[in-house]
Amino acid sequence: MKLPGPLVDADWLRERLREPGLVVADVRWVPDGTGRAVFASGHIPGAVYLDIDEDLAAPAGGAGLGRHPLPSPSHFARTMTLAGIGDDDAVVCYDAARGSHAARLWWMLAVTGRAAALLDGGLEAWTGPLEKGAARRSPAPFTERLWPAEAIADAEAVATAIREGSGPVLDARAPERYRGEVEPIDARAGHIPGARSAPWTANLDERGRFLPPEELRQWYESIDVGEGGGAVSYCGSGVTACADAFAMERAGLGRPRVYVGSWSEWIGDPERPIATGPEP
């Protein structure tokens, strides 16, 4: 199946829900680990469930690693195979967080050359019936592929980008977390010095839908993002950073690198500097 682009609406999905070659992936994340139970209580018909902690990340493994490191290519391939997602399938990803969690799966599929899209507005936008119970898809062949180096930034690359001014580094977290006024998750508050605040919520309108490409482009150009994908996006653990990456690609500005370790990795080294307050 050919997707119309990286973003689809509920009407498009409803008309094609049962077509061969289309897989719908539910990426709802629940902090207490009950995501599969939430999925079983009601999901878009035919969807499969993928858990960010178990399926789309490796174990954090202690200090120095972010909370959601990338899984190994073999683990990711095995997860997709068991979920019934094959090499030639087009995947529509959704969540209940306006795309901020589903974007992680979209990014993982997109950077490895797979066809993927986000459902605009997520489950909230779906007006059709819901299905209960576990997912029921047969395993499908999903080839293992290495994570492309050009899609990923590590802490050293982030520091270099800021020092040399080779591309803006963008913080996708809420502005108050960027400024260091609150930190509900990680051990230290603040942001990477030199990074700009680019909250993922700024990509959306009041209904939780993605802004038109031209409006997204104006927003990112206002924080010095130019064409060519030279930016680096980070967040708390490499999840909502993918929502900013999605928005920049939708804006026609190229796909930025994602600092997967993000803030939770950055602060694992006490020698790394931190900043608080408003924009640099």
Question: What are 77-127's pLDDT values in tens digits?
Answer: 999 999 999 999 999 999 999 999 999 999 999 999 999 999 999 999 999
CATH class label, 149-266: alpha beta
The full 3-state SS of 55-78, as one line of letters, equals CCCCCCCCCCCCCCCCCCHHHHHH
pLDDT at residue 63 above 60? Answer: no
Largest CA distance in the chain: 54
pLDDT value of position 160: 95
Per-domain boundaries in the chain: 7-125, 149-266
pLDDT of 229 > 80? The answer is: no
Task: Out of 162, 169, 235, 251, pick the active-site residue.
Answer: 235
Tell me which residue of 25, 5, 7 sits closest to 205, measured CA to CA: 7
235 catalytic? Reply is: yes
Nearest to 192 by CA among 180, 176, 174: 180
The 10s digit of each residue's pLDDT in 209-225 is 999 999 999 999 999 99
Superfamily of domain 7-125: Rhodanese-like domain (3.40.250.10)
Residue 107 DSSP one-character state: H
**Angle (nearest 5°) at CA 4 between 143 and 119:** 80
- Residue 61: exposed, middle, or buried by beta-carbon count in 10 A (0-12, 13-18, 19+)? exposed
Exposed / middle / buried, residue 165 (Cβ in 10 Å: 0-12, 13-18, 19+)? exposed
In this predicted structure, the answer to whether residue 194 has a pLDDT above a threshold of 70 is yes
